[in-house]
Each structure stands twice: as C-alpha cells, then as structure tokens.
Amino acid sequence: MPLEDIKSRIAKAEANAGRAPGSVQLIAVSKVQPDERVEAVLEEGHRCFGENKVQEAAGKWPAFAERYDGIDLHLIGPLQTNKARQAMELFDSIHSVDRPKLANTLARLAQELGTCPDLFIQVNTGEEEQKAGVMPAEADAFIAECRALDLPVKGLMCIPPVDEEPSLHFALLAKIAKRNGLQGLSMGMSGDFESAIALGATHVRVGSAIFGARTY
C-alpha cells in the first residue's frame, strides 16, 4: 500500500477519535527490508523508521543518515545489555526497556555519554511467557524505578498476543500510562493501527503494509 494511503488512514483515524491532526507518529518498520525499498520511502520524504536489531540497523542507517537529513530512528526490538551503548549512539528512541538490569545499564551509559534516547517501557500486556516486557502488575513499580534513575521515560509500548482482540491490550496500556502521567503510547501495527489510534496511540509501527512482505 502506498505510503500516502497509510498516512491518510492515520489522519482519518485521528479525526474519528477527535485527536489533533499529526498527533500520531508513523514509524515505518524497515527491519529485514532491502535497502532499495527503504530508500524509496526516504525519497518520498518520510524520516521516521523502526528497526528490530541493533546490528542490522548499524549496517544500514549510518550510510542513509549521510545522505538524508532528519532521520528519526526507533529501536522496537529487544535490547541486550551488551548492545546498549551501540543502541544509545544509533537510535533516537528505544521502545523495549523491559527489565531493571537494562534500565541500570542505560542510566550508567546516559551519565557517561551525557545524552540518552527517548525511552518507552515495554509492557507484556498478554502476560505471555515467551514475550519480553514487564508484567502489567509490576509496571508502576518499574516506571518509578526508571524515573528514579533519571531516565527519560516518554511512554509505554506493547505487542498484543496474535490470537486476542488487540483493543483490550491497547486499553490496558493506555490505563497504565494515564495513571503514571505518561503521554507516549507505542502500539498498533499494520493490521490494527486504527483501533490503536482510537485508544490513544502516539506512535504506530507499520511495516509490511508500507514495504510489502519481508524476505528473511
């Protein structure tokens, strides 16, 4: 689907939800997409992209950044502590802060580097064993812990279970964010971003609908 079609669907969903135009940021998820597809989207003027792996992003984005101004790069996949420094130097936002060890590492590096990307705490709204993220019952305490470390927590992120109604998970994430005074909600993907916007998403992560099917 053309990028403009996705953007017009986002604008329509904003209007339907009574949201201000432009209040939702489209993260074009470029993981495992060939460079020519990514470049085509850059050529259309889009600048906000999401990657799942630090290593893949490091091999792709520095070269693009030399040729295109204003790139806003988001890490949306899990982050190992041994890749934290590289991630902090490469990304503008990290959406997958999910455990105390990682929070402590990011805080130490932020002091050392004098800067830190915007951070989103990943909440495992479906309480799935195989999925990363802090459990909903532990989210408030973990948010407080990250704030005590002076980390720039901007919001929350979730990936709903594939076999459940996503809007239930979006509503839960919005409720946790509201009671903790957090504005950012990174939720909604290619198949469900309109319902995420209706429930307050500020960042939607759309990949295959923009780039086509991934070739692993």
β-pair partners for 186: 157, 203
> 146 to each of 51, 78, 140, 161, 165, how far by Cα in Å?
23, 17, 10, 26, 30
For residue range 141-184, list pLDDT tens digits in order: 999 999 999 999 999 999 999 999 999 999 999 999 999 999 99
pLDDT at site 215: 67
Let me know: does 120 contact 154? Beta carbons within 8 Å.
yes
pLDDT classification of 212: cutoffs 50, 70, 90: confident
Read off the pLDDT band of 124 (50, 70, 90): very high
Distance CA 90, CA 188 (A): 24
- The whole-chain average pLDDT of the chain stands at 96
* pLDDT at residue 216, as a whole number: 61
pTM: 0.96
Residue 47: pLDDT above 90?
yes
Both tokens assigned to 85: 């420094």
